[in-house]
Amino acid sequence: MDVVDVKPHSTIIEDGKQLKIIDEFIARGYKLKKEQVKQLLSVDIEMLSKKYKEDPISVKRIIKKTPTIGRVTYNNLVEFLSSYQVV
């Protein structure tokens, strides 16, 4: 018997919203490595994008502490989130 790991439906939808934000980030000409995408999904980039308008300092701290996010990617993410329109 094969065992298959299935994500709950709500997790798939949340990942979809997060991936949309990441796709828009990349569409604007920024680059992310595969590991950076995984890290952004784990810290919930959707929540960060919503929270950025209210409390940019705490969001910047979270991004800065995220493993694999270097100086250039950090600066790009901050620039992106400052202009990103949350839907």
Instruction: Report pLDDT digits (tens) over 32-74.
Output: 999 999 999 999 999 999 999 999 999 999 999 999 999 999 9
pLDDT the model gives residue 27: 95
Phi then psi dihedrals of residue 49, to 5 deg: -65, -35
8 HSE (CA, 13 A, CB side): 3
Cα distance between residue 12 and residue 17, in whole Å: 9
pLDDT the model gives residue 85: 84
By mean pLDDT, which of 6-10, 12-16, 30-34, 76-80 is the weakest?
A: 6-10
Domain boundaries, the chain: 9-83
Q: Are 74 and 47 in contact (CB under 8 A)?
A: no
